[in-house]
Amino acid sequence: MIKHVIFDMDGVLIDSEPLWQLAEIDIFSTVGHDLNSEMCSQTTGMRMEDAINYWYSKKSWKNKSKETVSQEIVEKLIVLLKEQGEAMPGVIEILDILKDHKITISLCSSSSLKIIQEVVKKLDIVDYFECIYSAESAKYGKPHPEAFLTVAAKMNTEPQNCLVIEDSFNGMIAAKAAQMKLVGIPDHKYYNLSKFDFCDLKLRSLRELNFDKIKQIFE
């Protein structure tokens, strides 16, 4: 039975993945990493700490601390979010549908709480969520299931009664590892890849999601 829905944030609620890439390409270039969009996609869904460690393991740097790189990326991203951040199509509609059906809703993101607060303020959606959780406070980030399991525990809901809505492969793995149902919304460039076939439901946009489809997932 569907009791709770957990939304990822970046790429699900807000069209922020391109902004993340701009910020990462800009700041990582200052430490000797010439990234492109394809390369940035390798760390989509990861916590900032894990993404920085990933690139540091590929080629280390000495001119800045990892903490400074993280801070600069976050600061750059927040500027971009304020200037260009927009809700993904269908966000308000599905939030209203869930609210009308008395389904509780959480937000669970790999982004820092500072970024999450900026996004929910920008989109004016904070009142929809019973729980807002940043995986930066978790021991393990996605694709580990800890963040989703923590949210379920906070909401006193069994994982099998939770639905996760995710766009990143790392987040999708985390959702299924948590034994939760999964609606996957992959980037359109990767939509037809077979690696997303484990989703309980795969969509091109939140606009395609309605309550009947959600109920069918749990039948």
Homologous superfamily, domain 4-15+86-217: HAD superfamily/HAD-like (3.40.50.1000)
Topology annotation, domain 17-84: DNA polymerase; domain 1 (1.10.150)
Distance separating alpha carbons of residues 135 and 112, to the nearest angstrom: 7
| List 8, 50, 167, 200, catalytic entry | 8
Q: What is the pLDDT of residue 45?
A: 83
The mean of the pLDDT values for the chain is 96
Give Cα separations from 27 to 21, 55, 66 (angstroms): 10, 12, 11
**Does the structure show a pLDDT above 90 at 171?**
yes
Distance separating alpha carbons of residues 126 and 12, to the nearest angstrom: 15
- What is the per-residue pLDDT across 38-60, written as a single tens digit (0 to 9) for each? 999 999 888 899 999 999 999 99
Distance separating alpha carbons of residues 92 and 86, to the nearest angstrom: 12
Whose tokens are 């393990």? That residue is 140
Distance separating alpha carbons of residues 68 and 35, to the nearest angstrom: 18
Q: Which residues of 90-107 are buried (b: 16+ CB within 10 A; e: fewer)?
A: bbbebbeebeeeeebbbb
Are the C-beta atoms of 167 and 187 separated by less than 8 Å? yes
Q: Is 197 a catalytic residue?
A: no
| List 10, 50, 167, 200, catalytic entry | 10
Give Cα separations from 98 to 10, 84, 106, 147, 206 (angstroms): 20, 27, 11, 22, 13
pLDDT band (50, 70, 90) for residue 155: very high
What is the model's pTM?
Answer: 0.89
- Mean pLDDT across 191-205: 97
* DSSP output for 124-186: T-GGG-SEEEEGGGSSS-TTSTHHHHHHHHHTT--GGGEEEEE-SHHHHHHHHHTT-EEEE--
Q: What is the pLDDT of residue 137?
A: 86
**Within the chain, which residue ranges are assigned CATH 1.10.150.240?**
17-84
**Within the chain, which residue ranges are assigned CATH 3.40.50.1000?**
4-15+86-217
Q: Is 10 a catalytic residue?
A: yes
